């Protein structure tokens, strides 16, 4: 699992909908990748805020922002050579 795979599972992870096998991989990745560890930490705090305010729904805007931030960092580090082509996949437009 790399950062892209991890981010694809992030919403499932927070929803508790994740497959146990994947959960092991997610936790493994978290143990080795500081970027994603920070993302999870930030996301958890953000979710707490949302939960306090209204019915919780994982916001697309947040997911896109997190994804962009991690991709940016991973590219800078150069640790994941496949990030460049994956990052060029179409993403939701900002309104």
Range 57-70 burial, b when 16+ CB lie within 10 A, else e? eeeeebbeebbeeb
Residue closer to Zn ion by CB (options 3, 71) is 3
Question: Can residue 83 be called a binding residue for Zn ion (CB under 5 A)?
Answer: no
Q: Which residue is nearest to Zn ion (CB)?
A: 33
Distance CA 23, CA 20 (A): 5
Structure tokens at 65: 């922002």
String marking each residue 19-58 x if it binds Zn ion according to CB under 5 A: --------------x-xx----------------------
Per rule CB under 5 A, is residue 1 in the interface with Zn ion?
no
């Amino acid at each position: 699992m790399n950062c892209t795979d991890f981010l694809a599972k992030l919403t499932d992870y927070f929803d508790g909908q994740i497959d146990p096998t994947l959960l092991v991989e997610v936790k493994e990745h978290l143990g080795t990748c500081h970027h994603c560890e920070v993302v999870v930490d930030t996301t958890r705090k953000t979710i707490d805020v949302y939960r306090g305010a209204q019915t919780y729904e994982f916001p697309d805007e947040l997911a896109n922002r997190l994804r962009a931030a991690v991709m940016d960092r991973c590219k800078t580090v150069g640790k994941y050579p496949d990030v460049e082509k994956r990052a060029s996949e179409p993403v939701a437009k900002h309104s």
